[in-house]
Structure formats: structure tokens, C-alpha cells
């Protein structure tokens, strides 16, 4: 008898969404960090889910996404 594996909606983490946006716009972590005024290490930690951005940095990320007409729901659960 075959068992059917049903997967629910696969959700991306906040860090994965940031990484997807950054890579689709062809920015390195270093370049993206420079635009946000933070270090490459911090960008890496965001993308890996080890750290969350402060409110000022989050605002810069959202502004960056809007400026580049990148449709991303960063705050979607």
C-alpha cells in the first residue's frame, strides 16, 4: 500500500526572505550590508535566523525592497 505524504504550505523564515530578495537583486551580503549600514556578518546572521534586525534596520530593509519594487511580505507569518 502506498502512503501519500501531504505537505502543508512551506513557509519561508524572515531570514530566507531577506536572502531571496538580496540574491534576486544580485547583491552580495557585503554590498547589501553596506546599503544598510551594517556588517556582512550581521546580514549573514539575519539570513541564518540567528539574529533579528533592529527596528531602524528593518525599516531600511523595507524601504530598500520598496525602492527596488521587490514584492516581499517580510512580516507575513
pLDDT tens sequence for the chain (77 residues) = 444 444 455 677 889 989 988 998 899 999 999 999 999 999 999 999 999 999 999 999 988 887 777 665 554 44
* Separation of alpha carbons 29 and 72, rounded Å: 18
Residues 40 and 33: beta-carbon distance below 8 Å: yes
Predicted structure pTM score: 0.75
> Which residue has cell 541564518?
48
pLDDT at 70: 66
Which CATH code for domain 14-67?
1.10.260.40
Element (H, E) at 20: helix 14-24
pLDDT at 37: 96
Name the residue ranges covered by the structural domains of the chain: 14-67
Amino acid at each position: 500500500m502506498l502512503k501519500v505524504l501531504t505537505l502543508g504550505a512551506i513557509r519561508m523564515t524572515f531570514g530566507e526572505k531577506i536572502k531571496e530578495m538580496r540574491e534576486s537583486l544580485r547583491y552580495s551580503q557585503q554590498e547589501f550590508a553596506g546599503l544598510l549600514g551594517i556588517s556582512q556578518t550581521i546580514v549573514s546572521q539575519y539570513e541564518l535566523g540567528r539574529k533579528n534586525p533592529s527596528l531602524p534596520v528593518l525599516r531600511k530593509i523595507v524601504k530598500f525592497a520598496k525602492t527596488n519594487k521587490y514584492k516581499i511580505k517580510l512580516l507575513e507569518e
